[in-house]
Amino acid sequence: MVVGAVPEAVDFVVAGSGPGGYTAALEAARRGRQVTLIDPDGDDGIGGVCLRVGCIPSKTLIEAAETFHRTLHGAAMGITASDVRFDMLRFQRWKDERVQLLAGGVAGLLKRTNVAVKRGHLRIAEPGTVVVSDGEGGAQFLMYEDLLLATGSSPAPLSALPVDGTRVVDSTGALALVHVPETVAVVGAGYIGLELGTALAKLGAAVTIVEAADRILPSMDASLNRPLKRRLRELDVDVELDAEVHGADEQHLLVRRNGGDLQIPAELVVVAVGRRPNTGDLGLEDAGVAVDEHGLIPVAENRTAAPRIAAVGDITPGPALAHKATAEARVAVAALNGEPAAFSPQAIPIVVFSDPEIASAGVGAVEADAAGVDVRKTTLPITASGRAATMGQRIGYAECVSDEADGALLGVTLVGPHASELIAEASLAIEMGVTLEDLSLTIHPHPTLSEQFQELALSAGGVGPVQPIG
């Protein structure tokens, strides 16, 4: 601590106002704690990356792109429209209104629970004390009772392709475009690259996705590649795999593949090679908080990282998902309040808002086999769904993994329309220890996409799908 600095005594400090941070602040306040929420952008940062420049803006763009694309390609359904245009500037205004509406809602909740929001960058000065810098030379020392870190993550850089905010942008820049580029090169075929590339393709851009690995979604099951690549071909999206980016000129992305050089036309280059945790300048070593080689903070089951310090969200191991962060936040607050608590979900749903959508929960067959569980894998094509047929959807499938011994549902993967909404049923079923028999006896409404769960259970039991496969 700076000699002569007099710290202010506070109770419960939260660093970061994203989903994990504001959930923790609200939960702590609900339990009677006096909460100070610190964010580099203060009130303007409430909601974090997810709400302001990530989850919400990207899904808004995806929704708009899908509506535009379906309008243009509805002839088979008897829909013909003329002079259909997409106004990116108008979209940006509409998107910003959605973001401000949601951010205002969170801010209102924080205000009503008397959470004090401070602008500044937090750094641990010593165990029990943090310093909050305002970026202009000013600093305030706070002596806390408990500290919860939820500082999130930032787009990972690519040394060969520095982001300039104009020609080369990260995901934040791609979501702030004021016009649709004619040609776009997306570097990275993970979920962010796929989502952005697909949306821009539906809006009329000629898109090429470039990936260093040998398949798209390299961190997920390889079987997902087939339906995704089929749909990308339908959308005229080119995919270059095993490709190393080594720069860009004024009109192209420069790529090396199989020993040869490629020049990919690119009015805009989007760098989407992943995210990195925001832990580098928190002063963690001064509080005895460990950090692994990836910059992540190892935590106990109750999300504590050191005495009186907990960490949640993207800065901890596991999938970097907003809903994981919010669930962890409630556990962490309970732990810091001295209550027994553990974060031990059986299923954390993972969603990719691609086309088709992908969602999974629980374990896959490979993971179950590795754990020594004798499993049964059952797969049904989406063409078995009457509701999917009414939507003109023919790419995708539903798959479940069950315990061969007792029929317990262990995992579900969905590829198809509204998979992001449907996966919650699978998560609940896995958490509740539902068996295939339970699922097969649960009446699902017809015709709906949710029937896929019952059809899977029936098929796994040898009954076979009720609806004909078209």
| Other Cβ atoms closer than 10 A to 126 | 14
Q: Are residues 292 and 146 in the same domain?
A: yes
465 is a domain residue = no
Q: Which of 273, 296, 328 is the last residue of a domain?
A: 273
How much is the pLDDT for 332?
Answer: 98
Lowest-pLDDT range of 117-121, 247-251, 259-263: 259-263
Contact 341, 331 (CB under 8 A): yes
Q: Is the pLDDT of residue 244 over 90?
A: yes
Q: What is the mean pLDDT of residues 23-39?
A: 98
Q: Which residue has the higher pLDDT, 137 or 416?
A: 416
163 is a domain residue = no
CA separation (Å) from 21 to 58, 253, 369? 21, 38, 37
Q: Are residues 29 and 147 in the same domain?
A: yes
Q: Are residues 150 and 86 in the same domain?
A: yes
How much is the pLDDT for 462?
Answer: 67
Q: CB pairs under 8 A, 24+ apart, for 404-410?
A: 404/374, 404/375, 404/376, 405/374, 406/435, 407/435, 407/436, 407/437, 407/460, 407/461, 408/433, 408/434, 408/435, 408/436, 409/362, 409/434, 409/435, 409/436, 409/439, 410/362, 410/363, 410/368, 410/373, 410/375
Q: Are residues 29 and 81 in the same domain?
A: yes
How much is the pLDDT for 465?
Answer: 56
How much is the pLDDT for 136?
Answer: 83
Contact 80, 74 (CB under 8 A): yes
| 294 carries an active-site annotation | no
Say what percent of the chain tops pLDDT 90: 91
Q: Are residues 137 and 16 in the same domain?
A: yes
User: Strand runs (DSSP E) across 166-311, as ranges?
Assistant: 168-169, 183-187, 206-210, 238-240, 243-248, 252-257, 260-265, 268-271, 275-277, 304-306, 309-311
Confidence of residue 421 (pLDDT cuts 50, 70, 90): very high
How much is the pLDDT for 361?
Answer: 97
Distance of alpha carbon 343 from alpha carbon 328, whole angstroms: 6
Place of tokens 């989407």: 272
For 113-133, write each residue's pLDDT tens digit: 999 999 999 999 999 999 999
Q: Which of 336, 370, 386 is the last residue of a domain?
A: 336
Q: Is the pLDDT of residue 406 over 70?
A: yes
- pTM for the structure as a whole: 0.94
Catalytic residue among 73, 179, 246, 446: 446
Distance of alpha carbon 376 from alpha carbon 182, whole angstroms: 47
Q: Which among 26, 15, 35 is positioned nearest to 131, based on CA atoms?
A: 15
- Average pLDDT of the residues of the chain: 95
Full domain range(s) for residue 181: 168-273
Q: Are residues 317 and 371 in the same domain?
A: no
- Partners of 352 in the β-ladder: 358
How much is the pLDDT for 439?
Answer: 96
Q: Which residues, other chains included, contact 47 with Cβ-Cβ below 8 Å and sequence gap of 6+?
A: 17, 18, 19, 22, 56, 99, 102, 103, 106
SS3 at position 187: strand
332 is a domain residue = yes
Q: Are residues 283 and 138 in the same domain?
A: yes
For 304-340, write each residue's pLDDT tens digit: 999 999 999 999 999 999 999 999 999 999 999 999 9
Contact 113, 333 (CB under 8 A): no
How much is the pLDDT for 286?
Answer: 87
Q: Is the pLDDT of residue 469 over 60?
A: no
